[in-house]
Amino acid sequence: MVCRDRLIYRMSGLCIQDSPTRPSTAYASRSAVRPQGTNYRSRGHPMTSRAQISIYVVLGLLVADFILFGYIPARRQLETMERAITTDISTRRLADVQRRQIPHLRQRLEELRCQLATHKARIPDDLKMGDLLETLAGLMEGRLTARSFVPGQPQLVDGLYRTTIHVSCCGRLADVFEFLQDLARIRRLVVVEQMRLDNDHGLTGQLQVEMDLVVFHEPLGHA
């Protein structure tokens, strides 16, 4: 009896010592079923990643297509239209300004036509140099002492013949101005191209006058 109790006590001690380190049946069974080195972390499906990449690529292409073939051409067209509108506004403003100037321009044109008619009336069909020199001598008579009249050769300029006459005379300054005033009143168009005044050596108030007068006449048989 004593021996049996000791045996039971010893067996109980062994069970008590072995129980903390012995794995449970459920844990042992799971360890036996799971293979070594197996990782049970969740992984993304490869088909899902490819679909997302395709969606991103399509979206990128749509954005690029909108920018290159939609936004940029529309922006350029808008800028072109804005420039055209600005140019049209400027043109209309300029047209309004010019429209208001039309009456003044017409009046100025009529004045120029009258002046042209007056000048044409003072330009004969022939040079008539003899008559002109006689007129110049008559204007100087009693005022200036004529020394010489030297006509040049006629030159055709812009459809008119122009002839330069070099005149040399002497007299007082007041007489020179009176001669020029009378010269502007004759029926013949005469232009004083250049004139030079020099005092005489004795300083008597007499001036030595050198002037170039230009006269015009139309070619014979002009329209």
Each residue's pLDDT tens digit, 200-209: 877 778 899 9
Q: What are phi and psi of 109, to 5 degrees?
A: -65, -40
Quote the distance between the C-alpha of residue 112 and its chain's center: 33
Average pLDDT value over all residues in the chain:
78
The enclosing H or E element of 124 equals none
Q: Is the pLDDT of residue 23 over 80?
A: no
Residue 121's pLDDT is what? 78
Provide the pLDDT confidence category of residue 193 given band limits of 50, 70 and 90: very high
Each residue's pLDDT tens digit, 165-189: 999 999 999 999 999 999 998 888 8
Q: Is the pLDDT of residue 111 over 70?
A: yes
pTM (predicted TM-score): 0.50
Cβ neighbours for 197, distance < 8 A, ≥ 6 positions apart: 173, 176, 207, 208, 209
Cβ neighbours for 211, distance < 8 A, ≥ 6 positions apart: 166, 167, 192, 194, 195, 196
d(CA 98, CA 197): 47
Nearest CA among 163, 143, 161, 162 for reference residue 207: 143
